[in-house]
Structures are given as C-alpha cells and as structure tokens.
Amino acid sequence: MVAEPGCAGTSTRQGPFADDCPSRVVLNHVANRWGTLIVTSLHEGPMRFHQIRDNIGGISEKMLSQSLRLLIRDGLIDRTVEPSTPPRVTYSLTPLGLELAALLRTLVDWITLRTDDIVAAQERYDRAQSA
C-alpha cells in the first residue's frame, strides 16, 4: 500500500496537497473548467442533457458528456433513463453530490458577488505594470 484514501500518514502533506492521494484526482474532477459549473447547475434540480448544456455557456457536448461520466463514476451525480421513445435521460445529484453542490454554490455566488472588485484589482494591476 502506498497511499491510503485519507492520506493521513503517507507524508507531511495531507489530502489533495499530496500528489499521490486519490483526493487530488477528485479535486481535479471538480475544480476544473467545467466541473464546478456542472455540479452547481444541478443544484437547481434534476436536468436533462441539453438543459445543462444550454445553462453553461460555451460548453461542448463532448466535454459535458465526458465530465458527466467522471462525476457519475465519483458517485456525485446520478443518471436516470426513462424507457420511453425516445428515451428520456435525467441527471441529478446524489446525496453526496448535494453536499458538494452546496459548497460550490457558495463559491460561485461569492465570485459573482465579488467580480466587480476583482476586475477593478486587475485594472489597477495592469495600470501599475504599464507605468
């Protein structure tokens, strides 16, 4: 055994700070270009494939499909198929995913709220650099 799940005793680093810990992988599934937005979208409620795509500007079907599969594998999202014609597929958060979505929602809301401040900081920085 090299790195146990919790990664408590393998090095001085813990959790995602250790690069050989499974939690690092999980963090990368969530904290990437699309993961946060997908999970946060589903916090509104169950959605179908095209609904999610339309809710997230600029995401391609390929990346949505690929990201969904990773998150389903991680046990964060459920995929439900109603056997009709055509089949109706719905994505929803698992109890585990719901916990995570609440946290990510807070993050997204904070960024939305603070974007003005951040843009102002960027402009200050750029002006200082050009001087």
Q: Does 63 bind a second copy (CB under 8 A)?
A: no
What three-state secondary structure class fits 20?
Answer: coil
Q: Which does 39 bind (CB under 5 to 8 A by kind): a second copy, DNA, none?
A: none
Q: Is the peptide bond before 86 cis (omega within 30 degrees of 0)?
A: yes
**Nearer residue to DNA within complex by CB, 13 or 88:** 88
Of 42, 64, 68, 104, which lies in the binding site for a second copy, with binding defined by CB under 8 A? 104
Q: Minimal distance in Å, beta carbon 48 to DNA?
A: 4
CB 104 within 8 A of CB 30: yes
Per-residue HEC secondary structure of 81-130 comes to EECCCCCEEEEEECHHHHHHHHHHHHHHHHHHHHHHHHHHHHHHHHHHHH
11 touches a second copy (CB under 8 A): yes
Other CB atoms within a 10 A radius of the CB of residue 51 amount to: 16
37 binds DNA (CB under 7 A): no
Q: Which residues pair with 55 in a beta bridge?
A: none
Q: Is 64 in the site for a second copy (CB under 8 A)?
A: no
Judged by CB under 7 A, the chain residues 78 through 117 that form the site for DNA are 79, 86-89, 91
Q: Which of 43, 72, 80, 90 touches a second copy (CB under 8 A)?
A: 72
Which residues lie near DNA (CB under 7 A)? 32-34, 48-50, 58-63, 65-66, 69, 79, 86-89, 91
